Amino acid sequence: MGPAEGKSPISRHFGKSLSFVRKNGSIFLIYGFIILIAGMAAIYSETFRTASNMANILRQSIILGLIAIGQSMVVLTGGMDISIDMIARTVALTVATLFATYESDSSLIVPLLFLGVTVGVTLGGINGVLITRTHANPFIITFGMASILRGVNLAISTTPIRGIPSPYLRIYDAKIGIIAINVIVMGIIWYAVWLFSTRTRLGRSLFAIGGSERVAQLSAIRINWTLVSAYVLSGFFAALAGLFVLARMGVGDPGTAEGMTFQSIVAVAVGGISLYGGKGSLIGTLGGVLLLTMISNVFNLMQVNIYYQQLLLGLVVLIAVAAYRSPRSVRPG
Amino acid sequence: MPESQKSDTSGEVILSLRHIDKTFGGTHALADVSFDLRAGEIHALVGENGAGKSTLIKVVTGAYFPDMGTITINGSNFQSLKPEQARDLGISVVYQEFNILPELSVSENIFLGAQPRGRLGLIDNISRKRRAYELLERLGARESIEPDQLVKDLTVGERQIVEISKALSSDAHIFIMDEPSAVLPSRELDRLFSLIRTLREEGHGIIYISHRLNEIFELADRVTVLKDGEVMATKNVAETSNTELVSLMVGRELSDMYPPTDNQPGDVLLEVNGLDVDGTVFDVDFNLRVNEVLGFAGLGGSGRTTVCRALVGLADIHAGEILYKGQPVPKTPGEASRAGMVLVPEDRKMNGLVLNQTMRFNLSLPNLLDFVRAGVLRSRLEDRAIKRIVEDVQIKPQTPEILTENLSGGNQQKVVVGKWLLTNPDLVIFDEPTRGIDVGAKAEIYIRIRELTRRGVGVIMASSELLELIGMCDRILVFYEGRIAGELSRAEFSEDEIMRLATATVSTKGS
């Protein structure tokens, strides 16, 4: 059953773009939603449609964005990182404590940034090693790690940790005009991560493992190494998120990143990355992040109760899952 | 060996399709197809992939509505069927992918969705087990399957019997079997065949789809050949031949299938001495030379696949040595493929392809390093290589963005072969290279294999199709229960001889 012959060039082009749309349907869907909701909000709310609010949304999307990127790496392999929010928190609290201990010494900023990243990467690495050694379900291992870290974080502090040197806060505040520098940096990060996922060997390997571990193994992909890398990356981005939150709050907040694991999974799922792994795109994740951030922004502007936001998040997940259900046809022979 | 059939086709017609037409978009899937099935008949349905067999079956089961034509079942006429109607009328399909739950028992699976109930509407376990018992007995399977056994403990053949029992339990009268032998090891085939014959004796009608023509001659009463959506012919099996069927299916002569060879084998590429694998394969010795095609024959479970996998480091080697190009063989598939030794595995869907990814992704997966410059994959390098291999191996359609799960079996196999050919191997091991593939694609794969041996590559081909081995190989090793039962050179090739060694039958000829 080959392609239909005898079609005019125009209808063939139309057919090609149609199949492009159909294949990347989830991405079109998500960005369509964003435009729709942005449009509605812009009509109803004067505050929403200001440039500074738009810039604000972009900056607000950074935290979820970083965590969602980390989560994407892991979900692509068919796993899940439940501990990602706790890793972010651990990094934030650890760095904050060290700042406080050494009397807010500004010269510590750069070393502590590196330290924070190291902590995140190490915790992620532990996740990865445990998962590859025990062959246990990643959900369970990272769930255990999340519980452990929650306890560790409580032990570090249950009250805000003061003593962050003011220059550090520039990470959040520095702007060019109304655009924050961190937004530009984040844009570069998104691009780099997308490039990584599609154009590097490690990136392709993530998809391969999620798609079929057996085939990946036969194709000379180093499974264990790749899996550990996925969790290390997750820890890396979790650390960046934690460090960013620290700059935003100005204190070490014991509630850092609360609930962000769930949000990151929503963003990833809504953005079209299959929760079974092996399929999807970082572009979709970006869409998911922007959508969720925008909804949150709109709700805040309209001063909607935070509980309703939770409700909506849940609804969005259900709708996304229903919309992306691809009928897996049974191929008889 | 084929037994002579009584073509007893005197039963009444229980299913009749008249002038069925079905078009999808630009594809005319079924064109004026007429087909009938009699009670007490095994009617084979053959044709290349894409010929329309699946579409025809889906029309019968109610999955598709025909655009034109009538379906007559037991005297009642229909323009189209709904699946529930088809089921109620006694139509039942056994697919290759079984719909059974491994963690439940045999009897629970047989009566899935239709559990016998007793008083108070609660499930009656005793009645269910008894009825399962009776069904299994009817099918002659009672010695090997207990109603209480968990399905996950059954062999593939036994699971298939459960699937067939399920059909029987819903009082099916028309059985459609889609490539049932494809998933079975040879030793379970006989049981399947006798089971199908039992169904025939009970007066049911069976539509039997298979690529294996020798099965048709062993089992079926009539055969219908489909080609490009049209019925080419319906014949009594006793009145036709392998050659005729193939030429009807394909429009090509059987003798053209296997490209001729005039290659002279070169230096020794692979040496295997005293190989023991996994506790199932013992004392295997052989050599492979450059430009040579070495065949592995033998019944299912005789050790062919195990040896193939051991060569690339996928099985536990307990003893013996393997020398590749004079050096000890690499221990992992990754290292093996880097050294030029690759395996085209038996099960392309499980081990050969990442189904939910594009052709491009799959083709470049083992070759990523070739396209990487400064840490980044260069599209131009990738595209060029992909374009080249898609043309070389004749994958259709040629768009690299197509998802491999949407390709036909033959093209899927070509993708698997193609991705390994891209690695420029020196030794290619094919395990069942043409299983479940239509005749046209098979011929194309044989051409590729022949080309390899012209280019200084050594080939090992493990296969259960004797004709394929005889047509393609220079030498054949026959396995029996984990050991090599014998080696045949080209002059000694014959189906009889291979089967004799494969079943360890003592030769009746004088030695």
Residues in B touching A4 (Cβ below 8 Å): 25-27
Give the separation between CA B295 and CA A167, rounded to whole angstroms.
Answer: 73
Q: What pLDDT, in 10s, does the model give residues A312-330?
A: 878 877 877 676 665 443 3
Mean pLDDT lowest for which of A144-148, B80-84, B196-200, B242-246? B242-246
Q: Which helix (H) or strand (E) holds A90?
A: helix A84-101
Give the separation between CA B258 and CA B262, rounded to whole angstroms.
Answer: 13
A150 to chain B, any CB pair closer than 8 A? The answer is: no
Mean pLDDT lowest for which of A23-37, A106-120, B354-368, B439-453? A23-37
Interface pTM, i.e. ipTM: 0.77
Inter-chain touch A333–B95, beta carbons under 8 Å: yes
The partner residue sitting opposite B351, judged by closest CB among A195, A204, A214, is A214
Inter-chain touch A207–B357, beta carbons under 8 Å: yes
* pLDDT tops 80 at residue B246: no
Give the separation between CA B92 and CA B83, rounded to whole angstroms.
Answer: 10
A67 part of a folded domain? yes
- Judged by DSSP in three states, A209 sits in helix
- Best residue in B308, B360, B361, B365 for a mutation probing chain A (most A CBs within 10 Å): B365
The DSSP-derived string for A122-159 is HHHHHHHHHHHHH---HHHHHHHHHHHHHHHHHHH-SS
Give the separation between CA B46 and CA B55, rounded to whole angstroms.
Answer: 13
Give the separation between CA B10 and CA B27, rounded to whole angstroms.
Answer: 37
**Peptide bond before B328: cis, by omega within 30 degrees of 0?**
no
A296 part of a folded domain? no
Give the separation between CA B349 and CA B433, rounded to whole angstroms.
Answer: 13
A49 to chain B, any CB pair closer than 8 A? The answer is: no
The partner residue sitting opposite B25, judged by closest CB among A4, A198, A331, is A4
* pTM score of the predicted model: 0.73
Q: What is the mean pLDDT of chain B?
A: 85
Residue B8 has what pLDDT?
44
Backbone φ, ψ for residue A206 (5° rounding):
-60, -45
Q: Which residue of A has its CA nearest to B368?
A: A201
Mean pLDDT lowest for which of A43-52, A130-139, B182-191, B393-402? B182-191
- Segment A50-77 mean pLDDT: 93
* pLDDT tops 70 at residue A9: no
A3 part of a folded domain? no
Give the list of residues 6+ apart from residue B79 with CB closer than 8 angstroms, or none. Answer: B65, B66, B70, B71
Identify the burial level of B336 via C-beta atoms within 10 angstroms of its C-beta, where 0-12 means exposed, 13-18 middle and 19 or more buried: buried
What domains are defined for chain B? 12-90+173-256 (3.40.50.300), 99-171 (no CATH), 268-502 (3.40.50.300)
Distance from CA of A17 to the nearest CA of B (A): 13
Q: What percent of chain B has pLDDT over 70?
A: 94
Residue B323 has what pLDDT?
92
Distance from CA of A7 to the nearest CA of B (A): 10
Residues in B touching A332 (Cβ below 8 Å): 54, 57, 93, 95-97, 178-179
DSSP state of B123: B
* pLDDT tops 50 at residue A6: no
Q: What pLDDT, in 10s, does the model give residues A144-169?
A: 999 999 999 999 999 999 989 989 99
Backbone φ, ψ for residue B41 (5° rounding):
-130, 145
The partner residue sitting opposite A333, judged by closest CB among B182, B350, B365, is B182
Inter-chain touch B179–A333, beta carbons under 8 Å: yes
The partner residue sitting opposite B376, judged by closest CB among A199, A208, A219, is A199
A199 part of a folded domain? yes
Give the separation between CA B27 and CA B25, rounded to whole angstroms.
Answer: 6
A residues 197-236 closer than 8 Å to B (CB): 198-201, 204, 207-208, 211-212, 214-222
Residues in B touching A221 (Cβ below 8 Å): 334, 365
A40 part of a folded domain? no
Count of domains observed in chain A: 1
- The residue type at B434: T
The partner residue sitting opposite B365, judged by closest CB among A7, A204, A214, is A204
A290 part of a folded domain? no
* pLDDT tops 80 at residue B506: no
Structural contact between residues A81 and A71, judged by C-beta atoms closer than 8 angstroms: yes
Residue B3 has what pLDDT?
39
A248 part of a folded domain? yes
Banded pLDDT at B189 (limits 50, 70, 90): confident
Residue A143 domain boundaries: 61-283
Q: Which residue of A has its CA nearest to B179?
A: A333
Residue A328 has what pLDDT?
43
Q: What pLDDT, in 10s, does the model give residues B18-67?
A: 999 988 766 678 899 999 999 999 999 988 766 788 889 889 988 889 99
A45 part of a folded domain? no
Banded pLDDT at B510 (limits 50, 70, 90): very low
Give the separation between CA B420 and CA B424, rounded to whole angstroms.
Answer: 7
- Best residue in A1, A21, A207, A328 for a mutation probing chain B (most B CBs within 10 Å): A1
Q: What pLDDT, in 10s, does the model give residues A262-313?
A: 999 999 988 878 877 888 899 999 999 999 998 888 888 888 887 888 888 7
C-alpha dihedral (A211, A213, A216, A218), degrees to nearest 10 = -140
A278 to chain B, any CB pair closer than 8 A? The answer is: yes
Structural contact between residues A183 and A58, judged by C-beta atoms closer than 8 angstroms: yes
- Segment A189-202 mean pLDDT: 93
Q: Which residue of A has its CA nearest to B409?
A: A333
Inter-chain touch A207–B361, beta carbons under 8 Å: yes
Inter-chain touch B364–A199, beta carbons under 8 Å: no
B29 to chain A, any CB pair closer than 8 A? The answer is: yes
* pLDDT tops 90 at residue B394: no
B374 to chain A, any CB pair closer than 8 A? The answer is: no
The partner residue sitting opposite A220, judged by closest CB among B50, B334, B405, is B334
Give the separation between CA A83 and CA A128, rounded to whole angstroms.
Answer: 12
B160 to chain A, any CB pair closer than 8 A? The answer is: no
Q: Which residue of A has its CA nearest to B358?
A: A279
